[in-house]
Structure 1
Amino acid sequence: MPGDIAEKGARFRALHERGGAFVMPNPWDLGTTRILDGLGFDALATTSAGLAYSLGRRDGEGAVSRDEALAHAALIAAATELPVNADLENGFADDPAGVAETIRRAGETGIVGCSIEDATGDRQRPIYDFGLAVERIAAAAEAARALPFAFTLTARSENFLHGRRDLEDTIARLKAFEEAGADVLYAPALPDIDALAELCQAVGKPVNFLMGSARTPLSAADVSAVGVRRISIGSGLFNVAFGSFLKAAKGLHEDGLLARDKSLPTGRDIAAFMADGG
Protein backbone atom coordinates (compact mmCIF):
# COMPACT_ATOMS: atom_id res chain seq x y z
CA MET A 1 0.00 0.00 0.00
CA PRO A 2 1.38 3.47 -0.86
CA GLY A 3 2.74 5.69 1.85
CA ASP A 4 3.08 4.95 5.51
CA ILE A 5 -0.18 3.75 7.03
CA ALA A 6 0.63 5.22 10.44
CA GLU A 7 1.26 8.64 8.88
CA LYS A 8 -1.96 8.43 6.88
CA GLY A 9 -3.95 7.42 9.93
CA ALA A 10 -2.54 10.29 11.97
CA ARG A 11 -3.12 12.74 9.14
CA PHE A 12 -6.74 11.65 8.77
CA ARG A 13 -7.37 11.91 12.50
CA ALA A 14 -5.84 15.42 12.54
CA LEU A 15 -8.18 16.62 9.79
CA HIS A 16 -11.09 16.20 12.22
CA GLU A 17 -9.37 18.32 14.84
CA ARG A 18 -8.62 21.45 12.85
CA GLY A 19 -11.01 24.38 12.69
CA GLY A 20 -13.98 24.16 10.35
CA ALA A 21 -15.12 21.27 8.17
CA PHE A 22 -13.12 19.48 5.49
CA VAL A 23 -14.72 17.94 2.41
CA MET A 24 -14.19 14.22 1.82
CA PRO A 25 -15.64 13.27 -1.61
CA ASN A 26 -16.46 9.71 -2.63
CA PRO A 27 -14.94 8.13 -5.75
CA TRP A 28 -16.15 4.76 -6.97
CA ASP A 29 -13.29 3.56 -9.19
CA LEU A 30 -9.64 4.24 -9.94
CA GLY A 31 -10.33 6.97 -12.48
CA THR A 32 -12.54 9.01 -10.17
CA THR A 33 -10.03 8.47 -7.38
CA ARG A 34 -7.25 9.97 -9.49
CA ILE A 35 -9.40 12.93 -10.49
CA LEU A 36 -10.35 13.77 -6.90
CA ASP A 37 -6.76 13.27 -5.75
CA GLY A 38 -5.54 15.58 -8.50
CA LEU A 39 -8.02 18.30 -7.55
CA GLY A 40 -6.40 18.66 -4.13
CA PHE A 41 -8.87 17.22 -1.61
CA ASP A 42 -7.48 16.19 1.79
CA ALA A 43 -9.12 12.76 2.07
CA LEU A 44 -11.41 10.42 0.15
CA ALA A 45 -14.09 7.87 1.02
CA THR A 46 -15.67 4.96 -0.78
CA THR A 47 -19.40 4.86 -1.45
CA SER A 48 -21.41 1.69 -1.02
CA ALA A 49 -24.03 2.90 -3.49
CA GLY A 50 -21.41 3.83 -6.09
CA LEU A 51 -19.82 0.39 -5.75
CA ALA A 52 -23.12 -1.47 -5.89
CA TYR A 53 -24.45 0.45 -8.89
CA SER A 54 -21.17 0.13 -10.78
CA LEU A 55 -21.56 -3.64 -10.31
CA GLY A 56 -25.12 -3.48 -11.57
CA ARG A 57 -26.62 -4.19 -8.15
CA ARG A 58 -28.82 -2.35 -5.67
CA ASP A 59 -27.43 -0.67 -2.59
CA GLY A 60 -28.30 -1.50 1.01
CA GLU A 61 -29.78 -4.92 0.33
CA GLY A 62 -26.77 -7.13 0.98
CA ALA A 63 -26.01 -7.48 -2.73
CA VAL A 64 -22.33 -6.62 -2.23
CA SER A 65 -20.30 -8.95 -0.04
CA ARG A 66 -17.76 -8.05 2.62
CA ASP A 67 -14.97 -9.49 0.48
CA GLU A 68 -16.03 -7.34 -2.47
CA ALA A 69 -16.31 -4.17 -0.38
CA LEU A 70 -12.90 -4.68 1.24
CA ALA A 71 -11.25 -5.50 -2.08
CA HIS A 72 -12.76 -2.33 -3.54
CA ALA A 73 -11.54 -0.27 -0.58
CA ALA A 74 -8.04 -1.68 -1.07
CA LEU A 75 -8.08 -0.67 -4.75
CA ILE A 76 -9.10 2.89 -3.92
CA ALA A 77 -6.52 3.16 -1.12
CA ALA A 78 -3.76 1.89 -3.41
CA ALA A 79 -4.58 4.52 -6.05
CA THR A 80 -3.90 7.56 -3.86
CA GLU A 81 -1.59 8.92 -1.18
CA LEU A 82 -4.61 10.52 0.49
CA PRO A 83 -6.21 8.95 3.56
CA VAL A 84 -9.20 6.81 2.58
CA ASN A 85 -12.28 6.13 4.68
CA ALA A 86 -14.52 3.19 3.68
CA ASP A 87 -18.29 2.91 3.72
CA LEU A 88 -18.67 -0.57 5.22
CA GLU A 89 -22.45 -0.38 5.60
CA ASN A 90 -23.54 -2.38 8.69
CA GLY A 91 -20.20 -4.15 8.98
CA PHE A 92 -21.55 -7.07 6.95
CA ALA A 93 -22.71 -8.79 10.12
CA ASP A 94 -25.53 -8.57 12.62
CA ASP A 95 -23.54 -9.72 15.63
CA PRO A 96 -20.82 -7.62 17.31
CA ALA A 97 -18.15 -10.28 16.76
CA GLY A 98 -18.79 -10.24 13.02
CA VAL A 99 -18.53 -6.44 12.91
CA ALA A 100 -15.24 -6.61 14.83
CA GLU A 101 -13.89 -9.10 12.29
CA THR A 102 -14.80 -6.69 9.49
CA ILE A 103 -12.81 -3.94 11.22
CA ARG A 104 -9.80 -6.23 11.67
CA ARG A 105 -9.87 -7.14 7.99
CA ALA A 106 -10.39 -3.50 6.98
CA GLY A 107 -7.17 -2.65 8.80
CA GLU A 108 -5.29 -4.78 6.26
CA THR A 109 -6.58 -2.95 3.16
CA GLY A 110 -4.74 0.38 3.38
CA ILE A 111 -7.74 2.42 4.52
CA VAL A 112 -7.45 4.44 7.73
CA GLY A 113 -11.08 4.67 8.76
CA CYS A 114 -14.56 3.38 8.06
CA SER A 115 -18.21 3.93 8.90
CA ILE A 116 -20.51 1.37 10.51
CA GLU A 117 -24.26 2.02 10.46
CA ASP A 118 -27.17 0.78 12.54
CA ALA A 119 -29.27 -0.19 9.50
CA THR A 120 -29.96 -3.90 9.22
CA GLY A 121 -30.62 -4.21 5.49
CA ASP A 122 -33.95 -5.85 6.35
CA ARG A 123 -36.98 -3.85 5.22
CA GLN A 124 -39.15 -5.43 7.89
CA ARG A 125 -36.84 -4.22 10.71
CA PRO A 126 -34.61 -1.57 9.15
CA ILE A 127 -32.81 -0.38 12.32
CA TYR A 128 -31.06 -2.50 14.95
CA ASP A 129 -32.49 -2.34 18.46
CA PHE A 130 -30.74 0.29 20.56
CA GLY A 131 -28.79 -2.10 22.78
CA LEU A 132 -27.51 -4.27 19.94
CA ALA A 133 -26.60 -1.19 17.90
CA VAL A 134 -24.42 0.07 20.75
CA GLU A 135 -22.82 -3.35 21.30
CA ARG A 136 -21.89 -3.49 17.62
CA ILE A 137 -20.15 -0.11 17.78
CA ALA A 138 -18.38 -1.06 21.00
CA ALA A 139 -17.01 -4.18 19.33
CA ALA A 140 -15.96 -2.19 16.27
CA ALA A 141 -14.22 0.41 18.45
CA GLU A 142 -12.33 -2.26 20.38
CA ALA A 143 -11.13 -3.85 17.14
CA ALA A 144 -10.15 -0.45 15.73
CA ARG A 145 -8.11 0.43 18.82
CA ALA A 146 -6.26 -2.89 18.52
CA LEU A 147 -4.94 -1.99 15.06
CA PRO A 148 -1.30 -0.81 14.95
CA PHE A 149 -2.21 2.64 13.62
CA ALA A 150 -4.85 5.32 14.19
CA PHE A 151 -8.03 3.97 12.62
CA THR A 152 -10.94 6.42 12.71
CA LEU A 153 -14.28 4.75 13.38
CA THR A 154 -17.44 6.57 12.28
CA ALA A 155 -20.77 5.43 13.77
CA ARG A 156 -23.91 6.16 11.77
CA SER A 157 -27.53 6.41 12.88
CA GLU A 158 -29.73 5.70 9.87
CA ASN A 159 -33.14 6.59 11.32
CA PHE A 160 -33.96 9.40 8.91
CA LEU A 161 -32.97 7.36 5.87
CA HIS A 162 -35.54 4.73 6.84
CA GLY A 163 -38.55 6.84 7.71
CA ARG A 164 -37.87 7.01 11.45
CA ARG A 165 -37.97 10.78 11.86
CA ASP A 166 -37.04 10.69 15.52
CA LEU A 167 -34.32 13.22 16.31
CA GLU A 168 -34.34 12.40 20.02
CA ASP A 169 -33.63 8.71 19.37
CA THR A 170 -31.05 9.58 16.71
CA ILE A 171 -29.11 11.81 19.09
CA ALA A 172 -29.43 9.26 21.90
CA ARG A 173 -27.96 6.60 19.64
CA LEU A 174 -25.06 8.79 18.56
CA LYS A 175 -24.29 9.77 22.16
CA ALA A 176 -24.26 6.08 23.08
CA PHE A 177 -22.02 5.33 20.11
CA GLU A 178 -19.67 8.07 21.30
CA GLU A 179 -19.52 6.50 24.75
CA ALA A 180 -18.91 3.11 23.10
CA GLY A 181 -15.76 4.43 21.44
CA ALA A 182 -16.73 5.91 18.06
CA ASP A 183 -14.43 8.69 16.82
CA VAL A 184 -16.88 10.41 14.45
CA LEU A 185 -20.69 10.57 14.51
CA TYR A 186 -22.98 10.69 11.49
CA ALA A 187 -26.75 10.90 10.93
CA PRO A 188 -27.59 11.18 7.21
CA ALA A 189 -30.69 13.00 5.97
CA LEU A 190 -31.46 15.16 8.98
CA PRO A 191 -34.38 17.45 8.15
CA ASP A 192 -32.77 20.88 8.51
CA ILE A 193 -29.90 22.98 9.81
CA ASP A 194 -31.52 23.28 13.25
CA ALA A 195 -31.52 19.51 13.72
CA LEU A 196 -27.89 19.37 12.58
CA ALA A 197 -26.93 22.12 15.03
CA GLU A 198 -28.74 20.33 17.86
CA LEU A 199 -26.80 17.15 17.09
CA CYS A 200 -23.45 18.97 17.01
CA GLN A 201 -24.20 20.60 20.36
CA ALA A 202 -25.29 17.31 21.95
CA VAL A 203 -22.14 15.30 21.26
CA GLY A 204 -18.46 15.73 21.98
CA LYS A 205 -16.97 13.99 18.93
CA PRO A 206 -16.68 15.34 15.36
CA VAL A 207 -19.86 15.18 13.28
CA ASN A 208 -19.98 14.15 9.62
CA PHE A 209 -22.56 15.76 7.30
CA LEU A 210 -23.84 14.19 4.07
CA MET A 211 -23.88 16.89 1.40
CA GLY A 212 -26.25 16.71 -1.54
CA SER A 213 -29.39 15.53 0.19
CA ALA A 214 -32.50 17.15 -1.29
CA ARG A 215 -33.86 17.26 2.24
CA THR A 216 -30.97 19.35 3.53
CA PRO A 217 -29.47 21.48 0.70
CA LEU A 218 -26.73 23.13 2.75
CA SER A 219 -23.30 24.45 1.81
CA ALA A 220 -19.97 23.66 3.41
CA ALA A 221 -20.00 27.11 5.02
CA ASP A 222 -23.52 26.55 6.41
CA VAL A 223 -22.70 23.29 8.16
CA SER A 224 -19.24 24.33 9.30
CA ALA A 225 -20.85 27.28 11.09
CA VAL A 226 -22.97 24.96 13.28
CA GLY A 227 -20.08 22.70 14.23
CA VAL A 228 -19.71 20.05 11.52
CA ARG A 229 -16.12 18.87 11.13
CA ARG A 230 -16.37 16.60 8.08
CA ILE A 231 -18.47 16.64 4.90
CA SER A 232 -18.92 13.56 2.75
CA ILE A 233 -20.83 13.30 -0.53
CA GLY A 234 -21.97 9.67 -0.46
CA SER A 235 -23.30 8.69 -3.89
CA GLY A 236 -23.76 12.34 -4.89
CA LEU A 237 -20.97 12.54 -7.45
CA PHE A 238 -21.88 9.11 -8.81
CA ASN A 239 -25.48 10.23 -9.24
CA VAL A 240 -24.37 13.38 -11.08
CA ALA A 241 -22.12 11.40 -13.41
CA PHE A 242 -24.56 8.61 -14.13
CA GLY A 243 -27.49 11.00 -14.31
CA SER A 244 -25.70 12.79 -17.15
CA PHE A 245 -24.92 9.42 -18.74
CA LEU A 246 -28.56 8.33 -18.54
CA LYS A 247 -29.81 11.63 -19.99
CA ALA A 248 -27.38 11.44 -22.90
CA ALA A 249 -28.10 7.75 -23.55
CA LYS A 250 -31.86 8.33 -23.57
CA GLY A 251 -31.40 11.19 -26.01
CA LEU A 252 -29.27 8.97 -28.24
CA HIS A 253 -31.91 6.25 -28.19
CA GLU A 254 -34.90 8.55 -28.72
CA ASP A 255 -33.43 11.16 -31.08
CA GLY A 256 -30.46 9.39 -32.64
CA LEU A 257 -28.22 12.20 -31.48
CA LEU A 258 -25.55 12.37 -28.80
CA ALA A 259 -26.06 15.81 -27.31
CA ARG A 260 -22.90 17.29 -25.82
CA ASP A 261 -22.73 20.08 -23.30
CA LYS A 262 -19.85 22.26 -24.44
CA SER A 263 -19.14 23.26 -20.85
CA LEU A 264 -18.14 19.68 -19.97
CA PRO A 265 -14.47 18.67 -19.92
CA THR A 266 -13.00 16.93 -22.93
CA GLY A 267 -11.39 13.52 -23.00
CA ARG A 268 -8.02 15.25 -23.00
CA ASP A 269 -8.96 17.18 -19.85
CA ILE A 270 -9.87 13.95 -18.09
CA ALA A 271 -6.80 12.12 -19.34
CA ALA A 272 -4.59 14.69 -17.63
CA PHE A 273 -5.52 13.16 -14.26
CA MET A 274 -4.71 9.59 -15.24
CA ALA A 275 -1.50 7.64 -14.73
CA ASP A 276 0.81 6.96 -17.66
CA GLY A 277 0.33 3.46 -18.99
CA GLY A 278 -3.29 3.16 -17.82
Structure 2
Amino acid sequence: MDIATRATTLLELHHTGTTLVLPNVWDAWSARAVADAGFAALSIGSHPLADSRGQGDNEDMTLDDALDGVRRICSAVPDVPVTADMEAGYGADPAELVERLLEAGAVGLNIEDTVHSEGGRLRSVAEHAEYIGGLRQASDAAGVDLVVNARTDAFIKKDLFEDPVAEAITRLLACEEAGARCTYPVGAPDAESLQRLLDALSGPVNVIANPRKGSAAGSLEDLQSMGVHRVTFGPLLQKELAPDLAALVAPWK
Protein backbone atom coordinates (compact mmCIF):
# COMPACT_ATOMS: atom_id res chain seq x y z
CA MET A 1 0.00 0.00 0.00
CA ASP A 2 1.58 3.31 -1.05
CA ILE A 3 1.67 6.35 1.20
CA ALA A 4 -1.16 8.20 -0.54
CA THR A 5 -3.43 5.19 -0.18
CA ARG A 6 -2.53 4.79 3.49
CA ALA A 7 -3.30 8.46 4.10
CA THR A 8 -6.69 8.28 2.38
CA THR A 9 -7.48 5.11 4.32
CA LEU A 10 -6.67 6.82 7.63
CA LEU A 11 -8.80 9.82 6.71
CA GLU A 12 -11.72 7.59 5.73
CA LEU A 13 -11.48 5.71 9.04
CA HIS A 14 -12.37 9.01 10.77
CA HIS A 15 -15.69 9.12 8.91
CA THR A 16 -17.18 5.65 9.21
CA GLY A 17 -19.81 6.55 11.80
CA THR A 18 -18.03 4.52 14.47
CA THR A 19 -15.33 5.50 16.97
CA LEU A 20 -11.81 4.94 15.63
CA VAL A 21 -9.44 3.67 18.33
CA LEU A 22 -5.75 4.25 17.61
CA PRO A 23 -3.59 2.60 20.29
CA ASN A 24 -0.36 4.50 20.90
CA VAL A 25 2.75 2.47 20.12
CA TRP A 26 6.41 3.31 20.66
CA ASP A 27 8.58 0.84 18.73
CA ALA A 28 8.44 -1.79 16.02
CA TRP A 29 7.55 -4.57 18.48
CA SER A 30 4.58 -2.77 20.03
CA ALA A 31 3.38 -1.68 16.58
CA ARG A 32 3.37 -5.23 15.26
CA ALA A 33 1.67 -6.52 18.41
CA VAL A 34 -1.17 -3.97 18.16
CA ALA A 35 -1.55 -4.46 14.41
CA ASP A 36 -1.71 -8.23 14.93
CA ALA A 37 -4.50 -7.61 17.47
CA GLY A 38 -6.60 -6.34 14.57
CA PHE A 39 -6.40 -2.55 14.71
CA ALA A 40 -6.74 -0.92 11.33
CA ALA A 41 -4.44 2.02 12.13
CA LEU A 42 -1.98 3.07 14.83
CA SER A 43 -0.77 6.17 16.59
CA ILE A 44 2.73 6.98 17.84
CA GLY A 45 2.83 8.92 21.11
CA SER A 46 5.74 11.28 21.64
CA HIS A 47 5.93 10.45 25.35
CA PRO A 48 6.16 6.64 24.99
CA LEU A 49 8.46 7.00 21.99
CA ALA A 50 10.79 9.23 24.00
CA ASP A 51 10.68 6.79 26.93
CA SER A 52 11.61 3.92 24.62
CA ARG A 53 14.66 5.91 23.52
CA GLY A 54 15.74 6.94 27.01
CA GLN A 55 14.81 10.55 26.31
CA GLY A 56 12.24 12.96 27.69
CA ASP A 57 8.94 14.14 26.29
CA ASN A 58 8.26 17.84 25.63
CA GLU A 59 10.68 18.11 22.72
CA ASP A 60 13.65 16.64 24.54
CA MET A 61 14.01 14.55 21.38
CA THR A 62 15.17 16.32 18.25
CA LEU A 63 13.15 16.10 15.05
CA ASP A 64 15.74 13.61 13.76
CA ASP A 65 15.26 11.48 16.89
CA ALA A 66 11.49 11.48 16.58
CA LEU A 67 11.53 10.69 12.87
CA ASP A 68 13.97 7.84 13.42
CA GLY A 69 11.39 6.24 15.71
CA VAL A 70 8.55 6.98 13.29
CA ARG A 71 10.45 5.43 10.40
CA ARG A 72 11.22 2.23 12.31
CA ILE A 73 7.59 1.82 13.37
CA CYS A 74 6.13 2.53 9.93
CA SER A 75 8.60 0.12 8.34
CA ALA A 76 7.45 -2.62 10.74
CA VAL A 77 3.78 -2.27 9.69
CA PRO A 78 3.98 -1.17 6.04
CA ASP A 79 0.31 -1.83 5.25
CA VAL A 80 -1.08 -0.11 8.35
CA PRO A 81 -1.71 3.67 8.40
CA VAL A 82 0.25 5.36 11.19
CA THR A 83 -0.17 8.84 12.67
CA ALA A 84 2.55 10.37 14.84
CA ASP A 85 2.66 12.93 17.64
CA MET A 86 5.08 15.62 16.52
CA GLU A 87 4.64 17.78 19.66
CA ALA A 88 4.76 21.45 18.49
CA GLY A 89 6.78 20.63 15.38
CA TYR A 90 10.31 20.50 16.84
CA GLY A 91 11.03 23.95 15.43
CA ALA A 92 10.50 22.88 11.82
CA ASP A 93 8.46 24.92 9.39
CA PRO A 94 5.29 23.16 8.19
CA ALA A 95 6.55 22.29 4.71
CA GLU A 96 9.72 20.67 6.04
CA LEU A 97 7.81 18.76 8.69
CA VAL A 98 5.30 17.37 6.18
CA GLU A 99 8.00 16.38 3.70
CA ARG A 100 10.10 14.60 6.31
CA LEU A 101 7.14 12.94 8.04
CA LEU A 102 5.84 11.50 4.78
CA GLU A 103 9.35 10.31 3.92
CA ALA A 104 9.39 8.48 7.27
CA GLY A 105 6.12 6.75 6.37
CA ALA A 106 3.53 8.41 8.63
CA VAL A 107 0.24 9.65 7.17
CA GLY A 108 -1.05 11.75 10.07
CA LEU A 109 0.31 13.91 12.85
CA ASN A 110 -0.65 15.65 16.08
CA ILE A 111 0.54 19.21 16.57
CA GLU A 112 0.00 20.92 19.93
CA ASP A 113 -0.04 24.61 20.82
CA THR A 114 2.47 24.36 23.69
CA VAL A 115 5.99 25.11 22.44
CA HIS A 116 8.18 23.33 24.98
CA SER A 117 11.39 24.31 23.22
CA GLU A 118 10.47 27.94 23.87
CA GLY A 119 9.85 27.73 27.60
CA GLY A 120 6.49 26.01 27.32
CA ARG A 121 4.72 29.06 25.94
CA LEU A 122 1.25 28.66 24.47
CA ARG A 123 0.87 29.72 20.86
CA SER A 124 -1.82 32.31 20.21
CA VAL A 125 -5.01 31.23 18.48
CA ALA A 126 -3.88 32.77 15.21
CA GLU A 127 -0.33 31.41 15.42
CA HIS A 128 -1.45 27.85 16.02
CA ALA A 129 -4.05 28.02 13.27
CA GLU A 130 -1.44 29.41 10.87
CA TYR A 131 0.89 26.48 11.61
CA ILE A 132 -1.94 24.00 11.12
CA GLY A 133 -2.85 25.71 7.87
CA GLY A 134 0.74 25.44 6.67
CA LEU A 135 0.70 21.70 7.32
CA ARG A 136 -2.53 21.28 5.38
CA GLN A 137 -1.23 23.35 2.47
CA ALA A 138 1.97 21.30 2.33
CA SER A 139 0.12 17.99 2.41
CA ASP A 140 -2.30 19.17 -0.29
CA ALA A 141 0.66 20.23 -2.44
CA ALA A 142 2.14 16.74 -1.97
CA GLY A 143 -1.13 15.16 -3.08
CA VAL A 144 -1.52 13.24 0.17
CA ASP A 145 -4.54 13.27 2.52
CA LEU A 146 -2.35 13.78 5.58
CA VAL A 147 -4.56 13.71 8.70
CA VAL A 148 -3.59 16.84 10.60
CA ASN A 149 -4.82 16.51 14.20
CA ALA A 150 -4.73 19.93 15.88
CA ARG A 151 -4.27 19.70 19.64
CA THR A 152 -4.88 22.40 22.20
CA ASP A 153 -3.60 22.42 25.77
CA ALA A 154 -6.26 24.86 26.96
CA PHE A 155 -7.36 22.37 29.64
CA ILE A 156 -3.82 21.57 30.74
CA LYS A 157 -3.14 25.29 31.11
CA LYS A 158 -6.62 25.95 32.46
CA ASP A 159 -5.44 28.52 35.00
CA LEU A 160 -4.77 30.86 32.09
CA PHE A 161 -8.42 30.95 31.07
CA GLU A 162 -11.68 31.86 32.77
CA ASP A 163 -13.52 29.29 30.66
CA PRO A 164 -11.14 26.61 29.32
CA VAL A 165 -13.92 24.96 27.30
CA ALA A 166 -14.69 28.21 25.48
CA GLU A 167 -10.97 28.77 24.88
CA ALA A 168 -10.55 25.25 23.51
CA ILE A 169 -13.52 25.76 21.19
CA THR A 170 -12.11 29.06 19.92
CA ARG A 171 -8.72 27.52 19.26
CA LEU A 172 -10.00 24.37 17.61
CA LEU A 173 -12.55 26.16 15.42
CA ALA A 174 -9.69 28.28 14.10
CA CYS A 175 -7.70 25.12 13.41
CA GLU A 176 -10.65 23.50 11.61
CA GLU A 177 -11.00 26.60 9.44
CA ALA A 178 -7.26 26.42 8.69
CA GLY A 179 -7.58 22.83 7.46
CA ALA A 180 -7.26 20.48 10.44
CA ARG A 181 -8.85 17.13 9.68
CA CYS A 182 -9.27 16.26 13.37
CA THR A 183 -9.03 18.22 16.63
CA TYR A 184 -7.75 17.18 20.03
CA PRO A 185 -8.86 18.97 23.21
CA VAL A 186 -6.48 17.01 25.43
CA GLY A 187 -7.56 16.86 29.07
CA ALA A 188 -11.25 17.67 28.62
CA PRO A 189 -12.29 17.04 32.23
CA ASP A 190 -15.75 15.51 31.98
CA ALA A 191 -18.61 14.46 29.72
CA GLU A 192 -20.34 17.85 29.91
CA SER A 193 -17.22 19.67 28.70
CA LEU A 194 -16.66 17.13 25.96
CA GLN A 195 -20.25 17.45 24.79
CA ARG A 196 -19.86 21.21 24.47
CA LEU A 197 -16.84 20.63 22.29
CA LEU A 198 -18.59 18.05 20.13
CA ASP A 199 -21.55 20.37 19.65
CA ALA A 200 -19.35 23.31 18.64
CA LEU A 201 -16.88 21.56 16.32
CA SER A 202 -17.79 20.26 12.90
CA GLY A 203 -15.02 17.73 12.28
CA PRO A 204 -13.75 14.63 14.09
CA VAL A 205 -12.69 15.05 17.72
CA ASN A 206 -9.97 13.01 19.44
CA VAL A 207 -10.30 11.96 23.10
CA ILE A 208 -7.56 10.49 25.27
CA ALA A 209 -8.41 7.39 27.32
CA ASN A 210 -6.74 4.91 29.64
CA PRO A 211 -7.11 1.40 28.16
CA ARG A 212 -7.92 -0.02 31.61
CA LYS A 213 -9.95 2.80 33.11
CA GLY A 214 -11.64 4.60 30.24
CA SER A 215 -11.73 8.34 29.74
CA ALA A 216 -12.77 11.33 31.86
CA ALA A 217 -16.05 11.23 29.94
CA GLY A 218 -16.61 7.50 30.47
CA SER A 219 -16.08 4.16 28.76
CA LEU A 220 -15.64 3.45 25.07
CA GLU A 221 -19.36 2.77 24.88
CA ASP A 222 -20.07 6.15 26.50
CA LEU A 223 -17.79 7.89 24.02
CA GLN A 224 -19.42 6.06 21.13
CA SER A 225 -22.89 7.13 22.27
CA MET A 226 -21.71 10.75 22.48
CA GLY A 227 -20.44 10.58 18.92
CA VAL A 228 -16.72 10.77 19.62
CA HIS A 229 -14.86 10.07 16.40
CA ARG A 230 -11.42 9.02 17.62
CA VAL A 231 -9.71 7.71 20.77
CA THR A 232 -6.01 7.51 21.54
CA PHE A 233 -4.16 6.41 24.68
CA GLY A 234 -1.22 8.85 24.78
CA PRO A 235 1.39 7.44 27.19
CA LEU A 236 -1.20 5.48 29.18
CA LEU A 237 -0.96 2.14 27.35
CA GLN A 238 2.76 1.94 27.98
CA LYS A 239 2.27 3.12 31.57
CA GLU A 240 -0.37 0.48 32.28
CA LEU A 241 1.87 -2.30 30.97
CA ALA A 242 4.73 -1.52 33.36
CA PRO A 243 3.19 -3.16 36.48
CA ASP A 244 2.30 -6.25 34.42
CA LEU A 245 5.88 -6.53 33.21
CA ALA A 246 7.24 -6.10 36.75
CA ALA A 247 4.83 -8.75 38.08
CA LEU A 248 5.79 -11.17 35.33
CA VAL A 249 9.52 -11.03 36.04
CA ALA A 250 9.42 -10.49 39.83
CA PRO A 251 9.22 -14.23 40.74
CA TRP A 252 12.48 -14.79 38.88
CA LYS A 253 14.62 -12.30 40.76
TM, length-normalised to structure 1 = 0.82
Query: 2:69 maps to what in 1?
Result: 72
Aligned counterpart in structure 2 of residue 206 of structure 1, from 201, 204, 207: 204
Alignment match of 2:178 (pick from 174, 177, 180): 180
> Which residue is equivalent to 1:170?
168
Which of residues 138, 151, 171 is equivalent to 2:133?
Answer: 138
Aligned twin of 1:216: 216
Other-structure match for 1:47: 45
Q: What is the alpha-carbon root mean square deviation over aligned residues? A: 2.1
Q: CA deviation at 1:122?
A: 5.5
Cα distance per residue 1:171-192 (max 9 Å; x no partner): 1000000001110011111010
Task: Give 1:68 deviation, angstroms.
Answer: 1.2
Stretches of structure 1 that go unaligned for 5 or more consecutive residues are 260-278
Shift of 1:33: 0.8
Find the residue that maps to 2:128 and give its secondary structure: helix
Deviation at 1:214, TM superposition (A): 8.1
Long gaps (5+) in structure 2: none
Q: Who is 1:154 aligned against? A: 149
Q: Cα distance 1:214–1:8, how it changes in 2: closer, same or farther (>3 A)?
A: closer
Question: Alpha-carbon deviation of 1:79?
Answer: 1.0
1:103-162, Cα deviation, whole Å (9 max, x unpaired)? 221121111111111011168553112221121111111112112322111100012223
Q: Identify which of 109, 112, 117 aligns with 2:112.
A: 117
Question: 1:20-31, aligned counterparts within 5 Å?
Answer: 20-31=18-29
Which secondary structure state, in structure 1, belongs to the residue aligned with residue 155 of structure 2?
Answer: helix
Q: Aligned equivalents of 1:119 and 1:189: distance in 2? A: 14
Displacement of 1:248 in angstroms is 6.7
Q: 1:36 to 1:214 in 2, by over 3 A?
A: closer
1:244-263 pair list within 5 angstroms: 244-245=244-245, 257-258=251-252
Residue aligning to 1:267: none
Residue of structure 1 in register with 2:3 after alignment? 5
Size of the alignment, in residue pairs?
A: 247
Residues of 2 paired with 1:245 and 1:123: CA distance? 36
Letter in 2 for 1:13: L
User: Hey, what does 1:268 align to over in structure 2?
Assistant: none
* Alignment-mate amino acid for residue 200 of structure 1: L
Distance 2:95 2:228 in 1: 27
Distance 2:217 2:168 in 1: 20
Write the distance in 1 (CA, Å) between the matches of 2:75 and 2:107. Answer: 12
Task: State the 4+ residue runs in structure 1 displaced beyond 2 angstroms.
Answer: 122-126, 161-165, 242-249
> Does the aligned pair in 1 maintain the 2:191–2:217 contact within 8 Å?
no
Structure with the higher fraction of residues in helix conformation: 2
Q: Is the 8 Å Cα contact of residues 22 and 232 (structure 2) preserved in structure 1?
A: yes
Bigger radius of gyration among the two: 1
For each residue in 1:164-215, what CA deviation from the matched residue of structure 2 results, as whole angstroms up to 9, or x when unmatched?
4611111100000000111001111101011111111101111111112887
The whole-number CA distance in structure 2 between the counterparts of 1:14 and 1:21 is 12
Residues 258, 127 of structure 1: CA spacing in aligned structure 2 closer, same or farther, 3 A cutoff?
farther
Looking at structure 1, the residues matched to 121 and 185 of structure 2 have their Cα atoms a distance apart, in angstroms, of 15
Which stretch shows the higher mean deviation, 8-17 or 160-169?
Answer: 160-169
